Structure 1
Amino acid sequence: MTNGISDLTIWVVIVVLGIGTFLIRWSFLGTLGNRKLPDWVLRMLRYTPVAVLPALVAPLVVWPAATGGQPDPARMAAATATVAVGLWTKNMILAILAGAITLFGLLYLL
């Protein structure tokens, strides 16, 4: 027993959440997996990664946990370098390397 919660309760919660997660994913993949989607849906789905990735990365750059949620010039510069090199070269590996080198270099200097 941990903190007044029995082991059985914990396992029931884990199993129920696992089933719920499976059903949520199956509702999209299982029902739509073998069907042809309309062209307008496929066109809209192409923009999903472009919208999701910045939404995941922006809070880590603007309010990093390493600085207690305060903006950090090293992380801002690294993000700027990553975007600039990515736009300039159209090469993801070079963009990531530029951002990493900028981040670690500025963290070392500052």
Structure 2
Amino acid sequence: MSSAHSDLTIWVVIVLLGIGTFLIRWSFLGALGNRDLPQWFMRMLRYTPVAVLPALVAPLVMWPAATDGQPEPARLSAAVVTVTIGVLTKNVILAILGGAITLFGMLYVLG
């Protein structure tokens, strides 16, 4: 079976992507690392994890690959428990543990 791209092309793409991602990270850490950022910018950065984590998890709950994209009670209930514990206790570790226990428990009960 022949490859559509040569090995050299693939390695060039990998190296260029590596350099690109390094430069993106360096732009924040290297270029701005010693400077004080504006207060409004720092305030906005506090919300980044709160926005990114649900964006990463929501597709896994609503369209899980394990069920060919069909929502299922085990994952939905684990998400509800995780959010509930997080809102009530403001403790991330407890929320994650509660969600994990609920997910594994529901998967065991539902088969």
TM-score (norm 1): 0.88
Measure the CA separation in 2 of the matches of 1:95 and 1:4. 47
Measure the CA separation in 1 of the matches of 2:30 and 2:91. 35
Measure the CA separation in 2 of the matches of 1:51 and 1:93. 18
* Aligned Cα root-mean-square deviation (Å): 1.7
SS of the aligned residue for 1:106 comes to helix
Unaligned runs of 5+ in 2: none
Listed one character per residue, the Cα deviations across residues 35-69 of structure 1 (whole Å, up to 9, x for unaligned) are 11111111111111111111111111111111111
1:49 counterpart residue number: 49
1:17 counterpart residue number: 17
Equivalenced residue count is: 110
Identity of paired residues, percent? 77
Task: Name the amino acid aligned to 1:60.
Answer: L
- The more displaced of 17-26 and 41-50 is 17-26
Task: Name the amino acid aligned to 2:57.
Answer: V
Measure the CA separation in 1 of the matches of 2:47 and 2:105. 33
1:58 counterpart residue number: 58
2:94 counterpart residue number: 94
- The more displaced of 1-10 and 59-68 is 1-10
TM-score (norm 2): 0.88
1:83 counterpart residue number: 83
2:74 counterpart residue number: 74
Q: CA deviation at 1:109?
A: 1.5
Q: CA deviation at 1:30?
A: 2.1
After the TM superposition, which segments of 4 or more aligned residues of structure 1 sit over 6 Å from their partners? none
